[in-house]
């Protein structure tokens, strides 16, 4: 929990998100993944998406993560789904995707976020899955320093 005092003296309580410290860095990493993979990339903390590349920022940035993404984080397991299906990346919003992969960011044993690569029209495979796991591992190590 972070505590702030505004100009008027009002106390503001804000939930602390360790991965939000990586905001610009996460955005650059998402851009690099998108440039090399050509698929949309999302990076989230425990609550919302903090970095978006290749997709509509207004559709994803600062939007609540879905139960599916939260479950992958809680189970500390990466997920690769290669079959077209309707899923929720954003809480309460169904969307049709061709495939997706989710890699939880686990720092000091605690899940603090996730990296998601998805495509609405192309297949995602092991290469993208490994890229998500690598990105999640790298971001976790940055948080542990």
In a domain, 128, yes or no: yes
pLDDT tens-digit readout, 84-114 = 899 999 999 999 999 999 999 999 999 999 9
Q: Could you give the number of structural domains in the chain? A: 1
Entry pTM: 0.86
Q: Which of 67, 123, 34, 2 is nearest to 43 (CA)?
A: 34
Which residues lie below 8 Å from residue 7, measured CB to CB, with a gap of 6+? none
* CATH number of the CATH domain containing 94: 3.30.450.40
Q: Which domain holds residue 75?
A: 19-144
In a domain, 2, yes or no: no
49-53 β-sheet, strand order? 49-53, 40-44, 110-119, 99-107, 79-81
pLDDT of residue 13: 72
In a domain, 135, yes or no: yes
In a domain, 72, yes or no: yes
In a domain, 122, yes or no: yes
Query: Does residue 117 sit in helix, strand or coil?
Result: strand
Query: Does residue 24 sit in helix, strand or coil?
Result: helix
């Amino acid at each position: 929990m972070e505590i702030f005092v505004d100009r008027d003296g009002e106390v503001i309580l804000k939930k602390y998100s360790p991965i939000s410290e990586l905001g610009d860095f996460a955005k650059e990493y998402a851009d690099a993944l998108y440039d090399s993979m050509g698929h949309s990339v999302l990076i989230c903390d425990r609550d919302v998406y903090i970095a978006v590349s290749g997709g509509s920022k207004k559709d994803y940035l600062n939007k609540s993560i879905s139960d599916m993404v939260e479950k992958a984080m809680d189970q500390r397991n990466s997920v690769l789904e290669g079959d077209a299906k309707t899923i929720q990346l954003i809480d309460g919003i169904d969307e049709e995707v061709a495939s997706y992969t989710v890699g939880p960011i686990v720092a000091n044993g605690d899940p603090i976020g996730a990296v998601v690569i998805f495509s609405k029209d192309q297949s995602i495979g092991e290469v993208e899955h490994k890229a998500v796991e690598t990105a999640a591992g790298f971001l976790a190590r940055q948080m542990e320093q």
